[in-house]
Amino acid sequence: MELNNSEYTIQGLPVEDIANQFQTPLYVYDADKIVSQINTLRNSFSGVNLRIKYAMKSLSNLSILKLMKAHKVDLDCVSIQEVLLGLKAGFPKERILFTPNSVSFDEIQEAVSLGVVINIDNIAVLEHFGDVYEGTVPCAIRINPHITAGGNAKIQVGHIGSKFGISIFQMSHVKKVVESHNINVVGLHMHSGSDILDSEVFLMAANVMFDCAKDFPNLQFIDLGSGFKVAYKEEDIVTNIPELGKKMSAAFKEFCKSYGRDLELWFEPGKYLVSESGHLLTKVNVLKHSPAAVFAGVNSGLNHLIRPMMYDAYHHIINVSNPQGPNRVYDVVGYICETDTFGYDRKINEIRVGDILSIQNAGAYSYSMASNYNSRFRPAEVLVYNGEAHLIRERETLEDLTRGQVDIFSNINIESSEEIVSTEE
């Protein structure tokens, strides 16, 4: 989103025009930003066979998936439903990685039948996998490197207390299971968390993986997950992708030389690819003055964007309608019957009832985590592509809320009980 001649635009389109055309609340994504992020990541690595696996849990709209596919990005899926959506979007099965956690073995078997790459993060499941497939189906193994990294504690997944991955302290056990069940391990995987600033964290984790790799002679890839930090504020420090690419490329080439052949290097960015492309457009319903704050109440809430409430995440807020107005201080709050504050004590150009506010960095883990809490409809989604705004998801209706519900009383009479009135003499 750019400010041009006192007007916010996306690919030259006035943001207010988009809001008026499709109504609010509305998610809007900039395809050019997504493509730019893909190119930056790909161009930062040199001399290695890099595969980008988009973490589709961050934003799983079919149009977004097809945009990724068109730019030769693969998929990282964490549920069988994501796998099915990926296949529906046209991804070849061999370009889909399935990394489940705490799922039934039936789900893993369904993924095997679909032909996608299976990634296992539990020794017991690995043994079961070996019993069932007896070396006929290759798999990858997710390792927990015990490296604490990332922002909020809820998105740190590589520490020793995490439910994700098989501990590096259990690798001798893993080796025995692999050998006794004749399991063909073709990949090693790890993911430490999100919002990782320091490229040295990735290099540290990579060295753990490289050390483990010597026990698996049939590897085809090393997957280092993701967690790249993006900017939520102007002054935010972000992951230096070119620096990471330069250092990691050199380290990976050295590893491949010692391993004896070239492998593929995989990363699984989600937030990095789509976060900054997304904007949640909301309309100001009310202004409320209290002794403690001035509240700007908008027609959205934690049902549409839960990250500020769940992770204490910061999302920059812009007054699209009044970009030249004097700065005032507001608490921007939602319309849900819970405390759903998008931002406390924010300096924003003067807000008036009816103004359009844009909540920035709303491309990742935003719509995909939305709900119907308070029986509110989820918003529409729009993708700006080649200078045109395209509707890629319709706004929900009452029929969407009741779809799947069964009204047993449409054919059954409800017996009413008479009110019992007690009197005291």
Helices (runs of H) and strands (runs of E) counted in the chain: 12, 21
CA dihedral 260, 185, 52, 85 (to 10 degrees): 160
| Side chain identity at residue 217, one-letter code | P
CA pseudo-torsion sign 153, 154, 159, 161: positive
Annotated binding site for substrate: 307, 311, 338, 365
Q: Which residues are annotated as a binding site?
A: 227, 307, 311, 338, 365
Q: How far apart are CA 59 and CA 367, in angstroms?
A: 7
The Cα–Cα gap between 97 and 43 comes to 23
Q: Which candidate, 315, 195, 228, 224, places its Cα nearest to that of 38?
A: 228
Annotated binding site for pyridoxal 5'-phosphate: 227, 365
How many CA atoms are closer than 13 Å to the CA of 174, on its beta-carbon side? 25
Catalytic residue among 77, 139, 212, 337: 337
Mark whether 337 is an active-site residue. yes
Under a CB-based contact definition with an 8 Å cutoff, are residues 224 and 265 in contact?
yes
> What does the alpha-carbon distance between residue 346 and residue 334 come to, in Å, rounded to a whole number?
15
Residues designated as active site: 337
